[in-house]
Amino acid sequence: MSGPALGTKPAAAAAGQLSRRQLLGAVGAAGVAAVLPPAVRRVRAAEDLDTAGGSKPRHRWVFVFDLRRCDGCGDCIGGCQKMHFLPESQEWIKVYEYTDATGGDYFMPVLCQLCDNAPCVHVCPVKATYHTDDGLVVIDQDICIGCRMCMAACPYGVRTFNWEAPPNVPEFLHSSTPEYRIPQVKGTVGKCDACVHELREGGLPGCIKACSMDAIYVGDLVEDAATNGRETVVLSQFLRDNDAFRLKEEAGTETRVYYIAGHGQDLDY
């Protein structure tokens, strides 16, 4: 799948290790030159990532995509659809294929960017889109009027409209919370919810469970840790050592999804 044109910048290797048990206990127990964006700010430390200001929330969730590992298989899309009982035609993760400066191809998965300064929140006329206490952007489909202003405002094109009635889901699996709405509601907007119902219980999002390349990490800025289900890393060090970047920095959305392009580091494969 081809995506919108981006700008240029590279990225570098591994990080300090924590156990996955430590991360999931802390994070959830209570709950190669590539074509990249033009405006990329280097990550320096955990505090450098804290854009919310004021008192710290209990969690601030983050996704990291290691593009050195992604092979464009699309399993993350399927894992997301399975978790949320979505039809095959509805993708909350888009996997784009780009060509780098050397003529080689690489893949970039794009989902909700968890923006701290989210345009979708600002434009919603009925306040159906809002931030949770742990910084996620969610949609209350009981309030959503389907105007699609949020879709027009999103710089990343990650929202989808529920044009058709959703697939049949057994009633005992229904969930009516904005954080995990099953099934989706016809005539409303849907998007990635970071599988926060799993994160808050120490679990992993559906995309990470499905990724056979271990290319997707979920982390917490408060705990400064992230995991792909196989290894756990110190988040700030991992981002800093690997020159992580965010999409469309110039938009000022202050996203919490990071990408690692790499420039030839070993991956211990």
Which DSSP letter does residue 2 get? B
Q: Supply the pLDDT for residue 102.
A: 84
DSSP string computed for 12-60: -----EE-HHHHHHHHHS--------S--PPP--HHHH--S-SSPPS--
Determine the Cα–Cα distance for residues 173 and 184; give it in Å rounded to an integer: 12
**Coil vs helix vs strand at 176:** strand
- Confirm if 236 and 224 have CB atoms less than 8 A apart: yes
Q: Determine the 3-state secondary structure of 207 from DSSP.
A: helix
% of the chain beyond a pLDDT of 90: 71
**Per-residue burial over 43-64, b = 16 or more CB atoms within 10 Å of its CB, e = otherwise:** beebeebeebeeeebebbbbbb
In contact, 244 and 14? CB cutoff 8 Å: no
Could you tell me if 100 and 200 are in contact, meaning their C-beta atoms sit under 8 angstroms apart?
no
Read off the pLDDT of each residue in 140-162 and give the average, rounded to a whole number: 98
Query: What is the band of 268 on the pLDDT scale with cuts at 50, 70, 90?
Result: low
What pLDDT does 103 receive? 87
CA distances from 198 to 14, 22, 36, 161 (A): 26, 16, 31, 24
The structure tokens listed for 211 are 């990724």
pLDDT at 44: 37
Query: Domain-by-domain residue ranges, the chain?
Result: 17-50+58-260
Q: How far apart, in Å, are the Cα atoms of 160 and each of 42, 90, 128, 132, 257?
A: 31, 7, 15, 20, 19
Q: Which amino acid is at 3?
A: G
- For residues 29 and 252, the model is more confident at 252
pLDDT in tens, 63-91: 999 999 999 999 999 999 999 999 999 99
pLDDT above 60 (res 168): yes
pTM strictly above 0.75: yes
CATH code matching the domain that covers 17-50+58-260, chosen among 3.40.50.1980, 3.30.70.20, 3.30.450.20, 3.40.50.720: 3.30.70.20
What's the mean per-residue pLDDT of the chain?
83
Residue 46 predicted with pLDDT over 80: no
- What pLDDT is stored for residue 267 in this prediction? 53
- Percentage of the residues of the chain whose pLDDT score is greater than 70: 77
Give the pair of three-digit tokens for residue 196.
């926060």
What does the block give as tokens for 112? 């909700």
Average pLDDT of the segment spanning 14-33: 42
Of 12-16, 178-182, 249-253, where does mean pLDDT reach its minimum?
12-16
Given CA atoms 171, 172, 177, 179 in this order, what sign does their dihedral have? negative
pLDDT at 269: 45
Q: Tell me the per-residue pLDDT of 196-249, one tens digit each, with 9 for 90 and over.
A: 999 999 999 999 999 999 999 999 999 999 999 999 999 999 999 999 999 999
**What are the structure tokens assigned to 233, written together?**
């890393």
pLDDT at 264: 52
